Chains A and B, each alone.
Chain A
């Protein structure tokens, strides 16, 4: 049976558009609010990424760091992350959810226990930022066994040989980092160049869904719509921060952004 993640891409393809992936941090800014945001934006997003916050993130930019610190300060624990995912899935059975974070949290929980919890809360995929190929092979195999997609990242610095091996080893989805940057950086490479690299990856195995992330905002999203999927994270986290600062309704504001993003790629 095809995974929910695969189905989401098929679905978008049938509508002749890329899939829209959103990233929010679990528990930002409270457990309850983050679930509300997730439920609301999933009306427009095809796949939802949910970050489990870590206080020493080495690949995140300011916006996501701020969201993560806020969640941790508000007492979010890993079990809360799973309960958010579980509550979400009980309402939106067919909407894929991907957990994303750093390996130490998984390591402290214990790999098997962590995957068991993923399974129980019906998590569809996992992205572990600091567990690259080939060190991730045993963990990726465990994920596959449990029917959870292990999603690997590919970057502009990934060598040809690595790229081949990563694609061969990958599950349904591959995440292409558009440029050398932490999350939320300004798009410093032209969309044309990004799409050139993207095609190189895509052409290696057309059955894999390749998404582009990093630097994608309302301004830039349209120019990359040829991809299988596009991930927006920092722009959303930034809106959460802004809404909190202005004491406005985060759920409405964030949903509006996601709605606009979706309209731009239709």
Chain B
């Protein structure tokens, strides 16, 4: 299994849609075959269409607010000693998280295909909030599927979705979290695929959804590359790009432009959700040894039992609380291009506390997992090492959890 150079990772799959011959694919009911094929053809056309690209860039700049800033976290660096800690503040994007890139592109595709309805799934509520924003902006009717448990713990984002005119469909089956929301969303699409477009919230699902999402979030690394060059005159010799990984959309976007670099120069580190300390219900399929399984239309490492029933997971961050992961990250793991580890709920909370104490930054619980790893390794590294954390979401949505766990106002 080998990574190819000079070809985007989203395109490094075989004719059946598998990365490395075993991750990905399209395990879908017959009913979805045609809609998925149509979408695949449309995307193939659009991504090369100059007019479409111009439109995308226009909305990325004027609607999303690209580029988001790239800053050094001086106080945190001084406090920890060792490596320099930098952050790419993707949470500055309109809506407060990286999910807006995928949502905007899906809304544009939906329009291009002449469909008036769009549906999506959400865990932390960001994917749903952004899709509802984009739907409103482009005049589409929108339904968002969300686990009943997530609706309770991510109230601010739910309020935003409703304000944007989207209907939130609560999902009560199974663990009532993201995994069930995705299932329910797919079931809805099976029943309405003739007039409805589906937006999968991360780089998961049948092959084409992995590609569209990765293609959209890749904007993050394109910006970062330019910013690195203008800050350091060239791409520095020792960089570590740290990102949280749930489905893996922000991590793919953050790394896309840097995958071709030697790992001695640019190390890619993914941080999964370890769940509460000592919990066995972690959402960390890459770093805590799981087997390959088929979930939501794709083969990836999946938290599951021997029989193939999908495990319940547990994490303080709804956005990482998912038993599967992007097939592209499985490929990056097996080719050893990226390293994956996990942070527990407690470590993420501590990291959040530390970052907000020293910096004028308010990362949500998802990127707080990435900050936890940065805080852990920075003191052991040399001063010329550049750690960059993707601060991919802001913590406004987490205010209830933070109040309860940290007594924050």
Contact = CB atoms under 8 A, between A and B. Distances in A.
A146 B34 CA distance: 31
A162 B33 contact: yes
Interface string A66-91: 00010010000110000000000000
A162 B31 CA distance: 12
Interface stretch (A7-15, A37-45, A128-136, A191-199): A128-136
B296 A180 contact: no
A69 B194 CA distance: 29
Contacts of B309: 54-56, 72
A177 interface: yes
A135 B32 CA distance: 14
Given A102-B294, A104-B293, A182-B187, A56 B310 contact: yes
Contacts of A155: 29-31, 33
A185 B297 contact: no
B307 A78 contact: yes
A181 interface: yes
On chain A, which size bracket covers the interface? 35 or more
Contact of B308 (A54, A61, A131, A133): A54
Contact of B29 (A104, A132, A156, A162): A132
Given A55-B174, A130-B294, A181-B191, A108 B30 contact: no
B227 interface: no
B327 to A, nearest CB: 14
A244 interface: no
B308 A109 contact: yes
B31 A177 contact: yes
B401 interface: no
Given A56-B174, A56-B296, A105-B307, A153 B29 contact: yes
A158 B29 contact: no
A107 B183 contact: no
A55 B194 CA distance: 27
Interface in B160-208: 173-174, 179, 183, 186-187, 190-194
Interface residues of B, number: 39
B35 to A, nearest CB: 7
Nearest to B302: A104
A78 to B, nearest CB: 5
Interface string A240-258: 0000000000000000000
Contacts of B179: 56
Given A108-B291, A155-B31, A159-B34, A180 B308 contact: no
A136 to B, nearest CB: 10
Interface string A84-116: 000000000000000000111101110000000
Contacts of A59: 29, 31, 187, 190
B391 interface: no
Interface of B: 16, 25-35, 37, 173-174, 179, 183, 186-187, 190-194, 291-297, 299, 302, 304, 306-310
Interface of A: 54-61, 65, 69, 72, 77-78, 102-105, 107-109, 129-133, 135, 152-159, 162, 177, 180-182, 185
28 contacts: A55-B309, A56-B183, A56-B295, A58-B187, A61-B187, A69-B174, A78-B308, A104-B295, A104-B302, A105-B308, A107-B292, A107-B293, A107-B294, A108-B291, A108-B306, A132-B29, A132-B30, A135-B26, A153-B30, A155-B33, A156-B31, A157-B30, A162-B34, A180-B190, A180-B191, A180-B193, A181-B190, A182-B187
Q: Which are the 4 A-B pairs with shortest beta-carbon distances? A: A108-B308, A157-B34, A104-B294, A155-B31
